[in-house]
A and B are shown apart, each in its own frame.
Chain A
Amino acid sequence: MTHTEAGRYLRLVVAEEAPRTGDTPDSGARRVWEIAFGLAARRRFETDSPLAEIGRTVTAAVRSAALPLLEAEMLVREALGEQVPVDGIAESVRTAVHLLVFARLADELALTDDELDSLIAQAEELAAAGISPRSEPTGVP
């Protein structure tokens, strides 16, 4: 399956083979990653999944990158449709969380290569179509 450059990079992140670059990703790439992150989060968790369970995933994903735990947890909860305080989270933190937590979620879901390709392709299609798959905020605070 042929992916966009952003999709190919995401694939490499999951395989832990992504090169470290100093380049700032463009908004299109960030959009693909954000959507893929949301799709994976909603495949892995229910909207009312225990925060302890979400926290374990987040901690495992971002611990080595020294990213803020609570911000990462909030981004997952936002992707699940919760109304949470996410204003002002730096773009660099958002991007890193989207990439690293996506990789962790793919691992926890034990996605096959085909499933992973399909999920990334879905994110690329949604990004290209300008569609936000984000859940509407639920009654869950």
Chain B
Amino acid sequence: MGQTGTLYTAAGRLLLDALGEKSPARSLSHCAGSPGAVRLLRELFTVAVRRGFVGRDPRDITAYVRDLLDYQSLPAGGEFARQAEAVMRSVLGEPEVAYAVSDRRRFELICLMVGDLVRPPGVPTGELVALMRQAERRAARS
């Protein structure tokens, strides 16, 4: 179930492989058929958002989402951006702001934001490894 040393679970390897693809968000979305990978992806999203934004002004999330959607050439001024901010804030102690976001849209946004971890220059490898390990521990507990 868990990993030893640098070995990951099958789900972890699946996600890391997807993150190494040319279009990480799209590759991550292909993991939808694996419940274990989906669970791990959600946990990876949670730990990444918390490490990046806990203790910061929530307005930083608004700016991050705008930057992300601009980078992806997606509309940054409307509902998609609001939903992205809502999903991020939901793991920072405000679950109520994301109640109206469908599971499908939530998954789509999570793929987009986790995929953004490797946007050049990307998080350092050591940081990604630490995030994945933490996510795997959380997934194993859930």
Interface residues of A (CB under 8 A from B): 50-51, 55, 68-71, 73-74, 82-88, 140-141
CA distance A86 to B60 in the complex (A): 17
Cβ contact within 8 Å between B60 and A141: yes
Cβ of A140: which chain B residues have Cβ within 8 Å of it?
A: 59
Cβ contact within 8 Å between A69 and B78: no
Interface residues of B (CB under 8 A from A): 57-60, 62-63, 65-66, 75-82, 85-86, 94, 96-97, 100
Cβ of B79: which chain A residues have Cβ within 8 Å of it?
A: 85, 87-88
**Which residue of A is nearest B57, CB measured?**
A51
13 further contact pairs, Cβ within 8 A, besides A82-B62, A85-B76, A87-B78? A51-B58, A69-B96, A70-B82, A70-B97, A73-B97, A85-B62, A85-B65, A85-B77, A85-B79, A85-B82, A86-B77, A141-B59, A141-B63
Using known A-B contacts A85-B76, A88-B78, A141-B66, determine if residue A70 contacts B86 with beta carbons closer than 8 Å. Answer: yes
Using known A-B contacts A70-B86, A71-B82, determine if residue A84 contacts B62 with beta carbons closer than 8 Å. Answer: yes
Cβ of B94: which chain A residues have Cβ within 8 Å of it?
A: 55
Cβ of A86: which chain B residues have Cβ within 8 Å of it?
A: 77-78
Cβ of B57: which chain A residues have Cβ within 8 Å of it?
A: 50-51
**Which residue of B is nearest A54, CB measured?**
B58
- CB-contact partner of B78 in A73, A82, A85, under 8 A: A85
Nearest first, the 9 A-B pairs at minimum CB distance are A141-B63, A87-B78, A85-B81, A88-B78, A87-B77, A51-B58, A70-B97, A141-B62, A85-B77
- List 6 A–B pairs whose Cβ atoms lie within 8 Å, in order of A's numbering: A51-B58, A70-B85, A85-B79, A85-B80, A87-B75, A87-B77
CA distance A55 to B59 in the complex (A): 12
A102 to chain B, nearest CB (A): 21
CA distance A141 to B81 in the complex (A): 13
Cβ of B66: which chain A residues have Cβ within 8 Å of it?
A: 83, 85, 141
- CB-contact partner of A51 in B59, B76, B77, B96, under 8 A: B59
Most interface-central of A71, A85, A86, A140 (chain B CB within 10 A): A85
Cβ of B62: which chain A residues have Cβ within 8 Å of it?
A: 82, 84-85, 141
CA distance A83 to B77 in the complex (A): 9
CA distance A55 to B57 in the complex (A): 13
**Which residue of A is nearest B89, CB measured?**
A70
Cβ contact within 8 Å between A82 and B59: yes
B40 to chain A, nearest CB (A): 27
